Structure 1
């Protein structure tokens, strides 16, 4: 991509770590002092100061001007990392998805705990002879028996297999994205309303060996 800086060394491996890359991100947007960037990165200035020195040593960051407090800026607003020289693809994808996966799991857990502190897990085989596990509040034996007000609060958390040809898969992906885009366009402007964590995935299934 035009304007991108290619990284295939230790600097690239550092930026593949999301927890490190987010510390550089404020400086990629514009020149900042360490205290300014620390607020955006939600880091302590002292912890960020260490990584600023590290980023400078790696050639990712440069000091802008001589005035104090010192101002720093990333050497590029965009970086490209050559994975063939830094890390295996499966490890990189797992690392990229980890922050979202962790947040999704945490948010689902918190919502279940808001509904009830006591849960049971229902283990059964569905109509397709697939083993299923389902959380249900302990006073209720099945999902179907839950009161409507509780069922409406349960987080949407499901996955499954569906047989599609490529055209059908593309149509489903387009339809899902259209629904999501419409929801974003119509989202609430009331700051008192809740934020909802959204995750969408559709890919050809390849069972692990």
Structure 2
């Protein structure tokens, strides 16, 4: 469903909106059921459900009467929401990317401080015109949790860049499909980017 209503757009672009909408995009749930699915506090989920309902993104699909407060079951008004680029707040994706990069750096530092903070700095050249700088892990360094971080530059054609982008998308989709989001397994943040270098 395409969303252009300003109130709905503001609600959808809030941090964590996707997390709190997820249970209701697939089926109807009570606040308690959603909190259990998300492994989050009832009060926090209740706050978000109320906010999403007030914005018109959730609707009450059933209500069970009981002593005290009745139990309402909510469902999203669509199974997917798309906000067109022209109605997004200015600089939305840039802010999301900056925050995501900062979170990735914090996660790497926390998981493998010996590697991230104390790795050796190296400059080398694979050819007389190709200099590279990178971080080298010492053989004795404790790498902590499973981590990986690398950046590199390749000189390839636009066709090869499209091939690489397709391979990266397939890799992303395969691992997302394997992810057990409802489990208590450790969440890992993965960040892969590809872009032509500016002149």
**Unpaired runs of 5+ in structure 1?**
137-145, 188-192
- Contact 2:2–2:84 (Cα < 8 Å) also in 1: no
**Partner of residue 108, structure 2:** 108
CA displacement 1:35-64 (0-9 Å, x = unmatched):
111122333111221222221221111111
Partner of 2:150: 158
User: 1:32 Cα shift?
Assistant: 0.3
Aligned residue runs from structure 1 range 1-209, under 5 A: 4-67=1-64, 68-88=70-90, 91-97=91-97, 101=101, 104-113=104-113, 116=114, 120-127=118-125, 132=133, 134=135, 136=137, 146-147=138-139, 155-176=147-168, 198-206=190-198
Please, what TM-score do these two structures have when normalized by structure 2?
Answer: 0.69
Contact 1:63 1:73 in 2 (8 A): yes
* Gap runs ≥5 in structure 2: 65-69, 180-184
Inter-partner Cα distance in structure 2 for 1:39 and 1:182? 27
RMSD of aligned Cα (Å)? 4.0
8 Å Cα contact 2:61-2:74 kept in structure 1: yes
- Secondary structure of 2:3's counterpart equals strand
TM-score by length of 1: 0.67
Size of the aligned set, in residue pairs, is 187
